[in-house]
Amino acid sequence: MRGLLLLAACAVLLPAYADEGMWTFDNFPSAKVKQLYGAEITPAWLDHVRLSTIRLANCTASFVSADGLILTNHHCVEQCLAQLSTKNKSLMDTGFAAHNRKEEQRCPAQQADVLIGTENISDAVLSSGLGLNDAAANQARKKILTSLEQACEQSSAKAKSGKLVCQAVKLYQGGQFFLYMYKRYTDVRLVFAPETDIAAFGGDPDNFQFPRWSLDFSILRAYENNKPANTPNFLQINFAGPSADQLVFVAGDPGSTARLQTRAQLQFERDTSLPISLMRTSELRGRYIQFGKANPADERIVEAPLNSLQNGIKVRRKQLDALNDDALMAAKSAAEQKLRLSSQLTGADPWREIEAALTRERALYVPYTLIENGAGFSSTLFRDARLLVRGADERLKPNNDRLREFTEASIPLIERDLFARVPVYPEFEQLTLSFSLERMREWLGPDHPVVRKLLTKESPDELATRLIAETKLDDALLRHQLWVGGKAAVDASLDPMIELVRLIDGDARAIRKQYEDEVEAPIAAAAERIAAARFKAQGTNTYPDASFTLRLNYGTVQGWVENGTPVEPFTHLDRAFERATGASPFKIPDTWMKAKAQLDLRTPFCISTSNDIVGGNSGSPLIDASGKIVGLMFDGNIHSIAGHYWFNSANNRAIAVHPAIIREALEKVYGAKELLVELNAAPQHLAAAAKLSD
């Protein structure tokens, strides 16, 4: 009980702001914000912010000029930087600056989605499974989601707004279903990125830490018809930044939370999925690091995947810590028991049904994850081979009979990724494939039928080496031919990676079917009943779990108290120089060392706020009540990771880059005067100079 008592004690000492909540825009608690903070959040304000906010492939961003300029994090464009790099020249090391629009470079696998509208489809979806058993209801639900998405896209194509991307979204663990309609920009170009050494100053050791000094920003631009997009909805930047205690908002797409999951589901994460994941990723981290030591080129190859991996390790490590707090688990049980008693559900107890499904999941999780979910075959070329083999089979089926990832709505992104000419490093592919085959043998055992199929005469290393050496799928043209050629072309292919996929695809589909019917379906059915009970008991004045869809939350600029010591909400540039060691990840780039004399060392660097955000919110604008950007979210403090399961207002803090350091850098370190003019941030002499040069 210590944990809970401590929370209660803190609540007495701290201001009673519980700034919890990742609210959908249609259900934002404006009245509560007005009551607490006196600010007026109007429907027009909400529309403007929504239309200015962008969902990237795995991050958030926002328009910051009428010509499609986009502000996001450096770590959100890391994949683009890696794809535009070569083995011998890394844009991560050097940074990137387009001196004019012609130099702006297209990111091969990036898009920018703007949420245009939403439609509640709960009735249609929830009624589709009536009278069916769980497995059949689960299938029926998928079919209707595909049908509704297709109808939406088809009808938008005929409307004057132009074709939209329509995606079905499950909210409140199945309590509601929506269609989300996006305008999608598929031509997104890199405009500016600082060097990783300053963008990720402190590296993995400082990740999820505050105080902090990471210049984690970059600039992209959306294009349409090969011209900068016309984006009248954009957010102006207030380079002065916010003041302490100021009311601030974060708009963006938090990726995933588990706050509405049952205690049994959390226990499954604690006992099974998190430990397995942590062991797996920790070993892979060791392999990456050792691989990178061979030479600078190999170090560049692993840089981006290593950063992403290490971020995941830290997240899951602290998630495990959160779930190991038995007092909080007990509180979760008590809340469930209360809802169970008050809801007077008829029929089987849904919490027990989830427990029963999880018992099945404990048996199926490892084979499902390894064989179907790809953890046994970690390799870009394996992924491509499976897309080709399955895509050939699935595209022959009616749209709503397909696996959900191969519906018509999903094809454009598959094709973009499959056809992209991005570098594939065979030695790195060999590493990840060998590793994953070896762990598959360990976890399934050497006598498992799938393992016997693959590893009767070769070791994991030998098999991986041969496959990567002999496959030709690193050729984008060949991938294009096989995709366009469809089933005939794929069936005729003797590429060894295609053959591997074919060899195990029956096994993989079988374990998927079993998993969907025995785990996914009963959990979905029970979760929907729990959601209905919760709506009945608590109303809809609540927010759904994060689902990488647009949300808005409110908070204030503030630090917290760590072991009795207050942490201030702002950091400044001077301390970054003091912490530098000269060796990465604590190296300040030469560009900054040269400019140091010109820099104002008291420039604010990072900001801590009480906003409720998680991964996916990276790149989100921090917005003041007037709708101006006063910061760029890029991280949370270490306590924010527990926010995956519950929000503790006493110490959960979001972290932003301060706009003043962005201006200081663009002006004095990088001399990016055109950009500053476009951002309206130019000091007078710069603006004048820019005018003269027009």
What residues make contact with its own copies under the rule CB under 8 A? 2, 202, 204-206, 209, 267, 270-271, 275, 278-280, 282-291, 293-294, 313, 317, 320-321, 324, 326, 359, 431, 435, 441-442, 445-447, 455-459, 461-462, 579, 581-584, 586
CB of 58 to its own copies, least distance (A): 24
Residue whose CB is less far from its own copies, 134 or 206: 206
Single-letter amino acid code for the residue at 223? Y
Phi-psi map region of 564: left, alpha, beta (phi>0 left; psi -120 to 50 alpha) = left
Specify the residue, 126 or 444, whose C-beta has the smaller distance to its own copies. 444
Residue 363 CB, nearest approach to its own copies (Å): 9
d(CA 431, CA 307): 17
- Look at the alpha carbons of 418, 422, 423, 429 in this order and tell me if their dihedral is positive or negative: negative
> Whose Cβ is closer to its own copies: residue 319's or residue 611's?
319
Torsion sign (Cα): 409, 412, 418, 423: negative
Query: Using only C-alpha atoms, what is the Rg of the chain?
Result: 25
**8 Å CB contact between 181 and 117:** yes
CA atoms within 13 A on the CB side of 294: 11
User: What is the spatial distance between Cα 500 and Cα 386, in angstroms, rounded to a whole number?
Assistant: 9
Q: How far is the CB of 584 from its own copies (least distance, A)?
A: 7
Whether residue 247 contacts residue 611, with contact meaning beta carbons closer than 8 Å, is answered with no
Least Cβ distance, residue 519 to its own copies (angstroms): 17
Smallest gap from residue 513 Cβ to its own copies (A): 21
Instruction: Please identify, using beta-carbon distances, which residue of 445 and 683 lies nearer to its own copies.
Output: 445
**Shorter beta-carbon distance to its own copies: residue 165 or 455:** 455
Q: Cβ 282 to its own copies, closest distance in Å?
A: 4
| CB closer to its own copies, 326 vs 401 | 326
The nearest distance, CB 578 to its own copies, in angstroms, is 11
Q: Of 316 and 386, which has the nearer Cβ to its own copies?
A: 316
Q: How far is CA 124 from CA 137, 365, 529, in A?
A: 13, 31, 16
For 429, the token pair is: 């592919």
C-alpha 228/C-alpha 66 separation (Å) is 9
Count of beta carbons in the 10 Å neighbourhood of residue 236 = 15
Task: Give me the half-sphere count of Cα atoms (radius 13 Å) on the Cβ side of residue 648.
Answer: 25
Residue 233 or 273 having the CB closest to its own copies: 273
- Tell me if 262 sits within 8 A of 336, measured CB to CB: yes
Query: Whole-number minimum distance, CB 438 to its own copies, in Å?
Result: 8
Instruction: Kindly tell me which of 455 and 490 has the beta carbon lying closer to its own copies.
Output: 455
8 Å CB contact between 96 and 90: no
Task: State in angstroms the smallest separation of the CB of 497 from its own copies.
Answer: 20
**The total number of residues written for the chain in this structure:** 694
Question: CB-wise, 35 or 456, nearer to its own copies?
Answer: 456
The 3-class secondary structure across 539-573, one letter per residue, is CCCCCCCCCCCCEEEEEEECCEEECCEEECCEEEH
Instruction: Output the 3-class SS for 402-450.
Output: CCHHHCHHHHHHHHHHHHCCCCCCHHHHHHHHHHHHHHHHHHHCCCCHH
Task: Give the shortest CB-319-to-its own copies separation in angstroms.
Answer: 11
Calculate ∠ Cα 376-378-384, nearest 5°.
Answer: 115
From 578, 166, 216, 93, select the one nearest 408 (Cα to Cα).
166
Q: How far is the CB of 201 from its own copies (least distance, A)?
A: 11
Q: Which residue has the tokens 């069936």?
A: 491
Whose Cβ is closer to its own copies: residue 158's or residue 457's? 457
Find tokens 């912010």 and name the residue. 49
